[in-house]
């Protein structure tokens, strides 16, 4: 059948953040049209037998860096390669970053990212604006972006002085306005000036190898910045979201604030759950792969992250997919990670993960009994959709929601190799690892885009999704 008018997914196990039942799901006109038992359809409807498969809402990854300029480097995935990889991994919506440069406005940053994304994206997407400078005009443009461009979240950095870092007053001004307008400020919480001092001191002492990346970004400085961010949000009476929480030093402030009723939300990333800082004892070249910010922490920190995921002190698992190649990149990028082999501070910070998020979390979370299936869906799809104004269009399987659906085989296994993945990065942190669970089919607004190993999607079929207000309470 070439282009069926609709698809009936028969007899799959539908799992949302709150439900778990066997049903038929009819996808029609881009949305979930009907959910029921023994749905009858005509011959023009494609019928897929999903017996034994999970029917999951498409993943929502609210932290990805595609074609992002990060300091002197550019991430090696394009909107095309990164979104294709996302699709193969069961993610049908990504939220990337539009960087406000020193001279332009958030609105120009959004327009620039959209221009590049439009013809390339293979899944639906949105943008957070990285706000690096705040003045009256910027605040005006931020308000315009929220009310007229469908961009309702803004990332700010407490790290990287002179490059991305915003001072406390700027963060406070943004929190106050964005919060009052129903949006979200997302913070990178690390004390940037102290960390820069530690980096300088390490280099001056001849400590140039990649392991010093982690040693110069101590968890206590993540904790300090997290605490400061919470106090700024409390004063601004605004919700706040912490990206890439890695340590208990940060988490303990989040837990306390939430217990006090302060609207604090946070994500962690698969790499903090899959690996700990023992990897930094290895070979220097290998360590460069694990140079991400914040760095990997101790196994004790990891236990705290799992506890927080279970008890809702962390609400989201996003990838922070920020790929830089070891040797061969695409787009002419070469040896990006190797740039720092004699000076760890020159290693671009970030690692790939967009394609392996769902399956790795299914394996280490669900299969190892750390997360229920419902919680897995909530963390990877529903909660990020709610927190960033995409729900219920995205993030669930319900009548009227976009027909972004993943058929997932919990009984299959797969061994991960970089050369089987679909992004541009030449390595994966999961090389050679066998994981339980496999994405079998992926639908984007009702269109089958992944069918086993077959790619049926195309660049440009993804759409920009205007977002609404945060639904966090």
Measured over the CA atoms of residue 184, residue 189, residue 194 and residue 195, the dihedral's sign is negative
* Shorter beta-carbon distance to ligand DUC: residue 70 or 296: 70
Picked from Zn ion, ligand DUC, none, the partner binding residue 61 (CB below 5 to 8 A depending on kind) is none
* Shorter beta-carbon distance to ligand DUC: residue 117 or 322: 322
Give min distance, CB of 112 to ligand DUC, in A. Answer: 19
Residues at the site binding ligand DUC, with contacts judged by CB under 6 A: 65, 70, 188, 243-244, 293, 320, 322, 349-350
Residue 412 sits at φ, ψ, to 5 deg, of -80, 160
* Shorter beta-carbon distance to ligand DUC: residue 295 or 457: 295
* Shorter beta-carbon distance to ligand DUC: residue 190 or 363: 190
Strand partners, 124: 93
Site for Zn ion in 182-201 (CB under 5 A): 188
Give min distance, CB of 188 to ligand DUC, in A. Answer: 5
Select the residue whose beta carbon is closest to ligand DUC and give its number: 293
**Residue 266 three-state SS:** strand
Binding status of residue 320 toward Zn ion by CB under 5 A: yes
Q: Are strands 54-57 and 45-49 parallel, antiparallel or unpaired?
A: unpaired
* Shorter beta-carbon distance to Zn ion: residue 350 or 437: 350
Give min distance, CB of 160 to ligand DUC, in A. Answer: 7
Picked from ligand DUC, Zn ion, none, the partner binding residue 349 (CB below 5 to 8 A depending on kind) is ligand DUC
- Residue 58 carries which DSSP code? P
The H or E element containing residue 409 is: strand 405-415
Strand order in the sheet with 59-61: 59-61, 91-99, 124-130, 153-157, 184-188, 240-242, 264-268, 316-317
Give min distance, CB of 46 to ligand DUC, in A. Answer: 40
Stretch that binds Zn ion, among 21-29, 312-320, 388-396, 401-409 (CB under 5 A): 312-320
Give min distance, CB of 275 to ligand DUC, in A. Answer: 16
CA distance 277 to 296: 5
Give min distance, CB of 111 to Zn ion, in A. Answer: 21
Picked from Zn ion, ligand DUC, none, the partner binding residue 106 (CB below 5 to 8 A depending on kind) is none
Give min distance, CB of 217 to ligand DUC, in A. Answer: 10
Stretch that binds Zn ion, among 172-180, 215-223, 315-323, 387-395 (CB under 5 A): 315-323
CB atoms under 10 Å from CB of 37, counted, come to: 9
* Shorter beta-carbon distance to Zn ion: residue 41 or 156: 156
* Shorter beta-carbon distance to ligand DUC: residue 99 or 264: 99
Query: Vertex 217, ends 213 and 223: CA angle to 5°?
Result: 155
* Shorter beta-carbon distance to Zn ion: residue 320 or 355: 320
Of 384, 344, 69, nearest to 213 (Cα)?
344
CA distance 370 to 382: 18
The H or E element containing residue 427 is: none
Residue 351 near residue 290, CB atoms below 8 Å? yes
Any alpha helices (H) in 7-89, and if so which ranges? 79-88
Picked from ligand DUC, Zn ion, none, the partner binding residue 89 (CB below 5 to 8 A depending on kind) is none
Any alpha helices (H) in 216-260, and if so which ranges? 219-236, 248-259
Q: For tokens 């958030």, name the residue.
A: 106
Interacting residues toward Zn ion by CB under 5 A: 188, 320
């Amino acid at each position: 059948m070439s282009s069926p008018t609709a698809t009936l997914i028969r007899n799959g196990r539908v799992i949302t953040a709150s439900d778990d039942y066997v049903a038929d799901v009819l996808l029609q006109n881009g949305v979930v049209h009907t959910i029921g038992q023994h749905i009858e359809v005509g011959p023009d409807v494609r019928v897929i037998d999903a017996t034994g498969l999970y029917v999951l809402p498409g993943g929502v990854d609210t932290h990805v860096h595609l074609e992002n300029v990060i300091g002197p480097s550019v991430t090696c995935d394009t909107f095309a390669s990164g979104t294709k990889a996302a699709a193969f991994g069961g993610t049908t919506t990504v939220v990337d970053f539009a960087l406000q440069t020193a001279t332009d406005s958030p609105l120009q940053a959004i327009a620039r990212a959209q221009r590049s994304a439009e013809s390339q994206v293979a899944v639906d997407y949105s943008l957070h604006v990285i706000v690096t400078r705040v003045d009256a005009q910027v605040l005006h443009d931020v308000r315009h972006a929220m009310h007229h461009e469908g961009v309702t979240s803004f990332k700010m950095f407490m790290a990287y002085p002179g490059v991305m870092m915003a001072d406390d007053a700027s963060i406070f001004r943004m929190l106050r306005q964005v919060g009052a307008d129903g949006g979200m400020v997302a913070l990178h919480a690390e004390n940037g000036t102290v960390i820069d001092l530690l980096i300088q001191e390490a280099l001056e002492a001849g400590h140039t190898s990649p392991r010093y990346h982690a040693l110069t970004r101590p968890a206590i400085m993540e904790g300090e910045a997290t605490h400061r961010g919470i106090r700024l949000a409390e004063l601004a009476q605004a919700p706040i979201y912490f990206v890439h929480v890695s340590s208990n030093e940060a988490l303990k402030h989040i837990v306390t604030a939430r217990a006090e009723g302060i609207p604090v939300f946070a994500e962690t990333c698969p790499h903090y759950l899959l690996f700990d800082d023992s990897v930094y004892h290895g070979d220097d070249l290998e360590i460069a792969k694990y140079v991400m910010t914040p760095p990997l922490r101790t196994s004790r920190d990891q236990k705290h992250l799992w506890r927080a995921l279970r008890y809702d002190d962390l609400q989201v698992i996003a990838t922070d997919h920020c790929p830089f190649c070891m040797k061969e990149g695409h787009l002419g990028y070469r040896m990006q990670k190797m740039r720092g082999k004699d000076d760890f501070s020159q290693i671009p910070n970030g690692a790939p993960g967009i394609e392996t998020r769902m399956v790795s979390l299914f394996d280490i979370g669900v299969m190892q009994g750390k997360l229920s299936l419902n919680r897995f869906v909530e963390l990877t799809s529903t909660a990020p959709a709610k927190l960033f104004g995409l729900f219920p269009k995205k993030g669930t399987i319900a009548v009227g929601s976009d027909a972004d659906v993943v058929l997932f085989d919990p009984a299959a296994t797969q061994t991960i190799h970089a050369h089987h993945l679909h992004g541009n990065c030449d390595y994966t942190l999961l090389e050679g690892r066998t994981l339980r669970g496999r994405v079998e089919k992926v639908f984007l607004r009702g269109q089958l885009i992944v069918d086993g190993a077959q790619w049926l999607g195309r660049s440009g079929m993804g759409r920009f999704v205007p977002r609404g207000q945060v639904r966090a309470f």
